[in-house]
Structure 1
Amino acid sequence: MALIGYGRVSTADQHLDIQEKQLLTAGCERIYMEKLSGTLASRPELDRALDHLRAGDILVITRLDRLGRSVKNLIDISERLRQGDIALRVVEQGIDSTTSEGRMFFHMLAAVAEFEHDLIVARTKDGLEAARARGMKGGRKPKLTQTGIQQARAMYDAVDERGKRLHTVQAIADTLRVSRGVIYRVLSEDVVA
Structure 2
Amino acid sequence: MKGQNVGYRRVSTAEQTTDRQLVEVVLDVVFEDKASGKDAKRPELERCLSHLRAGDTLHVHSIDRLARNLKDLQEIIESLTLKGVTVKFYKEHLTFEGSNHSPMQMLMLQMLGAFAQFERTLIRERQAEGIQAAKARGQKLGAPSKLSAEQIEELKARAATGTDKSQLAKEFGISRPTLYKVIAA
Instruction: Return the TM-score normalized by structure 1.
Output: 0.48
Q: What value does the CA root-mean-square deviation take over the aligned residues?
A: 3.0
Shift of 1:36: 3.0
Quick one: distance in 1 between partners of 2:110 and 2:9? 26
Aligned ranges for residues 161-180 of structure 1 at < 5 Å?
Answer: none
Answer 1 or 2: higher relative contact order, Cα 8 Å, separation at least 6.
Answer: 2
Q: What residue is the counterpart of 1:3 in the other structure? A: 5
Q: Deviations over 1:85-128 (max 9, x none)?
A: 1110011111112499874445437988xxxxxxxxxxxxxxxx
**3-state SS of paired residue (2:91):** coil
- The answer for the alignment partner of 1:67 in structure 2 is 66
Instruction: Give 1:75 deviation, angstroms.
Output: 0.4
Cα contact 1:60–1:90 (8 A) shared by 2: yes
Provide the C-alpha distance between the structure 2 equivalents of 1:60 and 1:92, rounded to a whole number of angstroms: 11
> For residues 108 and 41 of structure 1, do their structure 2 counterparts lie closer, same or farther at Cα, with a shift above 3 Å needed?
closer
Show the counterpart of 1:46. Answer: 45
Q: Where does structure 2 lack aligned partners over 5 or more consecutive residues?
A: 112-185
Decide whether the 8 Å contact of 2:57 with 2:86 is kept in 1.
yes
Q: Match of 2:35, SS?
A: strand
Secondary structure in structure 2 of the residue aligned to 1:8: strand
Q: State the aligned residue count.
A: 109
The percent identity for this pair of structures is 34
Give secondary structure in 2 for the equivalent of 1:17: coil
Superposition map of 1:181-192 within 5 A: none
In structure 1, distance between residues paired with 2:40 and 2:74: 17
Q: How many angstroms does 1:32 deviate by?
A: 0.2
Superposition map of 1:1-193 within 5 A: 1-19=3-21, 22=22, 24-39=23-38, 42-98=41-97, 103-108=102-107
Contact kept, 8 Å, 2:13 with 2:34, in 1: the verdict is no
CA distance in 1, matches of 2:52, 2:40: 21
Paired with 1:110 and 1:18, the residues of 2 have a C-alpha distance of 22
Larger Rg: 1
Length-normalised TM-score, structure 2: 0.50
